[in-house]
C-alpha cells in the first residue's frame, strides 16, 4: 500500500513539473511573438511590466511606419503631436515625389509656392529631355527659342547616329553633303567588315574590284590560318605552294 502511495506521489510531482515546464515554454514563446510582432500575442500571458514594455514597443513601431510611409499606419494610436509630425512627414514625402517625378506625386497636396517650384522643375526636366533625347519631350512646354535649340540638337544627334551606324538614323533629315558623307562612311565600314571578317558584311554592296580584293584577303587569311594549324583552315582553298607551306609548318596537324 505504501509503495502505491509513493508511486502516485512521484507521478504527481512529475506531471506537475511537466505541466509547469510546458506553461513556462508557452509564456516564453508568447513573449517572443509579442516582441517580434509576428504571430498572435496573448496579453493575458504577460506580466504587467512586460505588457507595458510590449505596448510601448508596438507604439514605437507604429510611429516608425507612420513617419516612413512604409507599412500599415494606425493613426488612432498616435498622440496629437505625433499625428502632426506624421502629417508633416507625409507632405514632405509628397513634395519630394513631385520634385523627382515619382508616380506617387499628389499635386493637390502642394502649397502654391511648392506647385510653382514643381512646375518649373518639370519645365527644366522636359527641356533637358528634349535636348538629350533621353526621355519624353513635350514641345508645348518649350519656349520658341528652346524649340529652335532642340531641333538643332535633334539634327546633330541624328547626323552622329547616321555617321556611326547607330539607330535610329533618319537620312531624310540630312543635307545632300551630309548624306554623301554618311553613304561613303557606311560603304567603308562594310568594306572593312568584309575584308577583316569582323562585323556584318554585305557582299552585294561591294564593287567588282572590291569584291575581288575581299576574295583575295579571305584567301590570304585562310592560308595564314592553315600555316598555324588554325581550326578555320580550309585546305581546299589553298594553292600548290600554300599547301606545301602549310604541310611543312611546325603547327600543321599530322597528315
Segment-wise mean pLDDT, segments of 10 residues, the chain, 255 residues? 51 51 78 80 83 86 89 87 93 93 88 95 93 90 93 94 90 94 94 89 92 88 82 80 66 52
Domain boundary among 47, 76, 110: 110
pLDDT recorded at residue 8: 56
The answer to whether residue 140 sits within a structural domain is no
Give me the domain span that covers residue 89.
57-110
Domain boundary among 82, 110, 138: 110
Quick one: angle between helices 80-99 and 48-68, nearest 10? 30
pLDDT recorded at residue 19: 47
The answer to whether residue 250 sits within a structural domain is yes
pLDDT recorded at residue 5: 46
What is the tally of structural domains in the chain? 2
The answer to whether residue 95 sits within a structural domain is yes
pTM (predicted TM-score): 0.57
Q: Judge contact between 101 and 125, C-beta under 8 A.
A: yes
pLDDT recorded at residue 135: 84
The answer to whether residue 189 sits within a structural domain is no
The answer to whether residue 248 sits within a structural domain is yes
The answer to whether residue 84 sits within a structural domain is yes
The answer to whether residue 158 sits within a structural domain is no
Give me 119's grid cell.
512646375
pLDDT recorded at residue 13: 46
The answer to whether residue 255 sits within a structural domain is yes
Amino acid at each position: 500500500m505504501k509503495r502505491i502511495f509513493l508511486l502516485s506521489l512521484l507521478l504527481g510531482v512529475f506531471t506537475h513539473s511537466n505541466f509547469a515546464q510546458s506553461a513556462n515554454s508557452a509564456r516564453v514563446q508568447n513573449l517572443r511573438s509579442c516582441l517580434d510582432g509576428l504571430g498572435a500575442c496573448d496579453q493575458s500571458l504577460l506580466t504587467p511590466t512586460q505588457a507595458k514594455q510590449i505596448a510601448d514597443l508596438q507604439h514605437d513601431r507604429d510611429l516608425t511606419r507612420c513617419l516612413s510611409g512604409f507599412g500599415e499606419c494606425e493613426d488612432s494610436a498616435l498622440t496629437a503631436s505625433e499625428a502632426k509630425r506624421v502629417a508633416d512627414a507625409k507632405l514632405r514625402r509628397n513634395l519630394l515625389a513631385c520634385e523627382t517625378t515619382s508616380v506617387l506625386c499628389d499635386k493637390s497636396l502642394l502649397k502654391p509656392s511648392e506647385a510653382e517650384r514643381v512646375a518649373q522643375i518639370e519645365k527644366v526636366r522636359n527641356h533637358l529631355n528634349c535636348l538629350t533625347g533621353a526621355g519624353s519631350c513635350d514641345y508645348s512646354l518649350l519656349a520658341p527659342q528652346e524649340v529652335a535649340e532642340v531641333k538643332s540638337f535633334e539634327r546633330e544627334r541624328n547626323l552622329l547616329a547616321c555617321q556611326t551606324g547607330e539607330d535610329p538614323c533618319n537620312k531624310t533629315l540630312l543635307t545632300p553633303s551630309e548624306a554623301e558623307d554618311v553613304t561613303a562612311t557606311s560603304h567603308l565600314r562594310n568594306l572593312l567588315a568584309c575584308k577583316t571578317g569582323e562585323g556584318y558584311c554585305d557582299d552585294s554592296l561591294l564593287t567588282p574590284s572590291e569584291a575581288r580584293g575581299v576574295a583575295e584577303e579571305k584567301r590570304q587569311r585562310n592560308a595564314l590560318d592553315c600555316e598555324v594549324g588554325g581550326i578555320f583552315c580550309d585546305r581546299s582553298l589553298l594553292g600548290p605552294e600554300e599547301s606545301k607551306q602549310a604541310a611543312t609548318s611546325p603547327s600543321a596537324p599530322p597528315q
